[in-house]
Amino acid sequence: MIQTPPSADRLAEISFWFKAAEVSAFPENGGACVKYQDQQIAVFHFAKRNEWYASQNLCPHKQQMILARGLIGDQCGEPKVACPFHKKTFSLLTGENLNGECYHIETYPVKIEDGYVYIGMRE
């Protein structure tokens, strides 16, 4: 499985890999939410592209925990998620708002090992 390749800077920031769930717990070509401590993290499986991504679950536009149920796709080859309520779109690589607005989302590196999804976390 292909995972989100962290940059050298992002890799240096990772304190540990959180074991989120088995690969089978996530829908193909969709997302699901996992919880780590007090954080909700949206995990997306782009089965068509054989790629995995993770971001905060909170949409910053209206402060709703909904991105895991968002619509996934790409914009000029860049993977994105669109909030299902107001269609604000965010890059799953950088967290940048692709509508040109000033808010963004946190993204996390993902790796797949032994049938489990791991999310790179910072302390």
- For residue range 17-71, list pLDDT tens digits in order: 999 999 999 999 999 999 999 999 999 999 988 999 999 999 999 999 999 999 9
Distance, in Å, from the CA atom of 10 to the CA atom of 6, rounded to the nearest integer, reads 6
Mean pLDDT, the chain, whole residue set: 92
Element (H, E) at 30: strand 30-36
- CA-CA distance, 102 to 97, in Å (whole number)? 7
Place of tokens 């050298």: 8
Q: Which CATH number fits domain 2-121: 3.40.50.720, 2.60.40.10, 2.70.170.10, 2.102.10.10?
A: 2.102.10.10
Q: For residue 8, what pLDDT is reported?
A: 63
Q: Are 53 and 107 in contact (CB under 8 A)?
A: yes
Query: pTM for the whole thing?
Result: 0.90
What's the rounded Cα separation, in Å, for the pair 38 and 29? 26
Which pLDDT score, from 0 to 100, does residue 11 have?
67
Q: Burial letters for 84-122: b for 16+ Cβ neighbours within 10 Å, e otherwise?
A: eeeebbbbbeebbbbeeeeebbebbbbbeeeeebbbbbe
- Going from N- to C-terminal start, the domains of the chain cover 2-121
Supply the pLDDT for residue 2: 47
